[in-house]
Structure 1
Amino acid sequence: MSRLANKTALITGGTSGIGLETARQFIAEGARVAITGSSAASIENARKELGEKALVIQADAGNADGQKAVADAIKNAFGHLDILFVNAGIAEFNPLEQWTEAAFDKSIAINVKGPFFLIQALLPLFAKGAAIVLNTSINAHIGMPNSSVYSLTKGALLTLAKTLSGELIGRGIRVNAVSPGPIATPLYSKLGSSEAESKAMTSHIQSQIPTGRFGEPSEVAKTIIFLASDEAAYIVGSELIIDGGMSNL
């Protein structure tokens, strides 16, 4: 298919999980793709996976000043931008009493501050009809224990999707959000401190999903393609929840 033919796209956090799968599918749909990643190892793996079909940019998603360098790289490579998928993020889960100011600030920087200033830096590059998709979470809607800071940041992104949709539509830029529930990515293997604890936690989460399974990155990527494509030209400031019915319980 070629729903994204002749479009340019940037995916932050595109070296693994949902980001990498979205990059694969964007390329298959005809887009020219750039991705960002923070670690040298993940960047090398993404280069091997995507080859010359994607521009890979090393960037710290939580460094507000560094977002200008990402925008410069996009300008030099593409000249303009049609699609931005803000996917880079961090998920840390702790009881309220265990949070430190440093850990709090890190989550805010990576999940909210960096994305905000990336969009600002890219603003002159967005073509008319451009689409921005923010990756939020069902945690913005449900009261999951130990998720206070993560949920706070995802709620902020969801609000940003709504406010920027009103602010940027006059420039021909659509802003929407996807809110995945539990997706089979490396994130969930890191939630417990041991293999046994991780298995117990994932089993508990799965028991709360009406469909009885975790979602696949490809299922999220297909939704993002739709929102980024011209098929969604009349969808502005919306949120698509992809959680197997979990948030309806």
Structure 2
Amino acid sequence: MSNDFEGRLAVVTGASSGIGLAVTARLLAQGARVLAMSRKMGGLEELARHFAGELTWVSGDVTKAEDLEQLAQHAARLGPVHYLVPNAGIAELADCLDLQAFDRQWAVNGAGALNTLAHLRGHLANPASVVFITTFLTGVTFPGLAAYIASKAALQAHARTLAVELAPQGIRINMVSPGPTATPIWSTLGLAHEDLANVATQVNKRLLGGEFLEAGAVADVVLFQLSNGARSVYGQDWVVDKGYTVR
């Protein structure tokens, strides 16, 4: 895998923190050039100091067509795009019948990811590899996260069909479903610190190893799916959850 990424262009959205930042860092370390998009630069600032010639950052929101068009224009200048990770995502606690909560989360987690691919489709190399980020929760349940889970489940279903339809164009589609991962998304759920700590304690009891995943562990799986080592894998969703869903 070490030579797969050398000099090739990858695009990552939601790249300023968590899994997106870890994927960006791994790609750069493997010699890739990365076009990263996020609303704020965040953790990308340090990467930019170390990989000034290989990292290009674009400020943008995946729910805005004009921002995705700007991303596509940057890709056209840097391309072709060999690797795409539409990672931008949000999560919020809501009543299970709050369809407005679904709309908000689908706009980023589903439509945002799919529209990212749609805008970049004409700039993809042949072959190219795309990895969507879904969630382990589509195989289980979690109170308060029905809208979040549904948005990711819809993305999974769409991505499987995309894998079939886009394969003849040299575009390989797969997914990674992270389990409980130590990223800033947990702090956006709206839980009090004590409640969040209690949730983490209960979740840890189901994890083999007893603690949340590190974002880098998920990024390692994403990079393998992007790589030539997974060249025969199409439409698959790899769950990386420290055994949560098998207990």
TM-score band (shorter)? over 0.9
Aligned-partner Cα distance in 2 for 1:198–1:233: 40
Q: 1:100 deviation in Å?
A: 6.0
Q: Give the structure-2-normalised TM-score.
A: 0.93
Partner in structure 1 of residue 167 of structure 2: 169
Partner in structure 2 of residue 81 of structure 1: 81
Counterpart of 1:118 (choices 116, 119, 122) is: 116
Q: 1:89 deviation in Å?
A: 0.4
For structure 1, the 5+ residue unaligned runs are none
Q: 1:120 deviation in Å?
A: 1.0
Partner in structure 2 of residue 63 of structure 1: 64
Superposed CA deviations along residues 180-206 of structure 1, whole A, max 9, x for unmatched, are: 000111122333532211111111111
Which amino acid counterpart does residue 231 of structure 1 have in structure 2? G
Which amino acid counterpart does residue 224 of structure 1 have in structure 2? V
Q: Is the Cα contact below 8 Å between 1:107 and 1:153 reproduced in 2?
A: yes
CA change 1:213–1:187 in 2 (3 A) is: same
Q: Is the Cα contact below 8 Å between 2:206 and 2:243 reproduced in 1?
A: no
Q: 1:12 deviation in Å?
A: 0.6
RMSD: 1.6
1:248 corresponds to 2:228 = no
Partner in structure 2 of residue 32 of structure 1: 33
Aligned-partner Cα distance in 1 for 2:48–2:140: 36
Q: Is the Cα contact below 8 Å between 1:6 and 1:32 reproduced in 2?
A: yes
Partner in structure 2 of residue 96 of structure 1: 96
Aligned-partner Cα distance in 2 for 1:32–1:245: 33
Counterpart of 2:183 (choices 182, 185, 198) is: 185
Q: Is the Cα contact below 8 Å between 1:11 and 1:33 reproduced in 2?
A: yes
Q: 1:239 deviation in Å?
A: 1.1
Superposed CA deviations along residues 4-54 of structure 1, whole A, max 9, x for unmatched, are: 112210011000011111111101111100111113xxx154123333131
Superposed CA deviations along residues 99-145 of structure 1, whole A, max 9, x for unmatched, are: 362x3322111111122111111111111110000000011111211
Aligned-partner Cα distance in 2 for 1:168–1:132: 11
Q: Is the Cα contact below 8 Å between 1:62 and 1:111 reproduced in 2?
A: no
Q: Which runs of 4+ in 1 moved over 3 A?
A: 189-192
Aligned-partner Cα distance in 1 for 2:135–2:96: 20
Report SS of the residue matched to 1:36: strand
Q: Is the Cα contact below 8 Å between 1:2 and 1:28 reproduced in 2?
A: no
Aligned-partner Cα distance in 1 for 2:99–2:230: 41
Report SS of the residue matched to 2:85: strand
Q: Calculate percent identity across the aligned residue pairs.
A: 29
CA change 1:190–1:206 in 2 (3 A) is: farther
Q: Is the Cα contact below 8 Å between 2:133 and 2:177 reproduced in 1?
A: yes
Q: Is the Cα contact below 8 Å between 2:102 and 2:151 reproduced in 1?
A: no
The total of aligned residue pairs comes to 243
Superposed CA deviations along residues 137-181 of structure 1, whole A, max 9, x for unmatched, are: 011111211111000111011112211100110001100000000
